[in-house]
Amino acid sequence: MNALAYTEDQLDALGELVNIAVGQAGASLARVLDTYVRLSVPQARVVSAAAVSRAVTELTPEGTHDTVVRQAFFSAMRGEAIVLFGRQGGRGIGDLLGYQAFHDAASEEVLLDVSNILVGAVLSGLGEQIGARFGFQAPTVLGRETELSELLEPAAVPWSQALLIEVDFEVESRGFSCHLVLLMPEDAIERMRAVLNRMLAAL
């Protein structure tokens, strides 16, 4: 049994927090694009470094991601955001973000813009609820057409366990999709546990 894992009640409380934060992120992206954005039901759980690649792959069909963007965040809770983009990349929504011409450099800029919007909105929504203000590093492209097992291999991550939060965003009318993954290491797991316990005690 994972000693850092949350109880069922704690996971339910975390699910409520994440649902609100993800909903805000979807609304932010929809406002920027002026179109409907579909969200999946977010998933949250504690995983080991050895299991994180498999856990993410289970919710991202093999071969559907082309570009992977990374963005670190920090505050009382630190971690990494990883956004996996589908084969269409940013081509389906570039014009909605004001890009008139489309080429490889513009495609990368679109994906970095979208990552910034989603990661910023999710963490801002989460921070509002738990009383934390997150800072961010600039997003960067982590890989293109690279296997997740290579990007998320245990030796490449500086932690043994992490809180994993995942959700899909999709603009069906434009063939655009991406998968957002938040990873927070052991210290963040414990800080979040304290927040969840306060929430549960207040019920």
**Single pTM value for the model:** 0.87
Q: Which 3 state secondary structure label does DSSP give 146?
A: coil
> Phi, psi at residue 57, to the nearest 5°?
-60, -35
Q: What is the pLDDT of residue 174?
A: 85
Question: Is the dihedral angle over the CA atoms 153, 72, 110, 169 positive or is it negative?
Answer: positive
pLDDT in tens, the chain (203 residues): 466 789 999 999 999 999 999 999 999 889 988 999 999 999 998 988 778 777 777 766 555 567 889 999 998 889 999 998 877 667 778 778 877 665 555 678 888 988 998 999 999 999 999 888 999 999 999 887 766 666 666 666 677 888 999 999 998 888 888 889 999 999 999 999 999 999 999 98
Give the separation between CA 164 and CA 119, rounded to whole angstroms. Answer: 14
Q: What is the pLDDT of residue 177?
A: 85
Q: What is the pLDDT of residue 3?
A: 60
Give the architecture-level CATH label for domain 8-184.
3-Layer(aba) Sandwich (3.40)
Give the separation between CA 30 and CA 23, rounded to whole angstroms. Answer: 10
Q: What is the pLDDT of residue 104?
A: 58
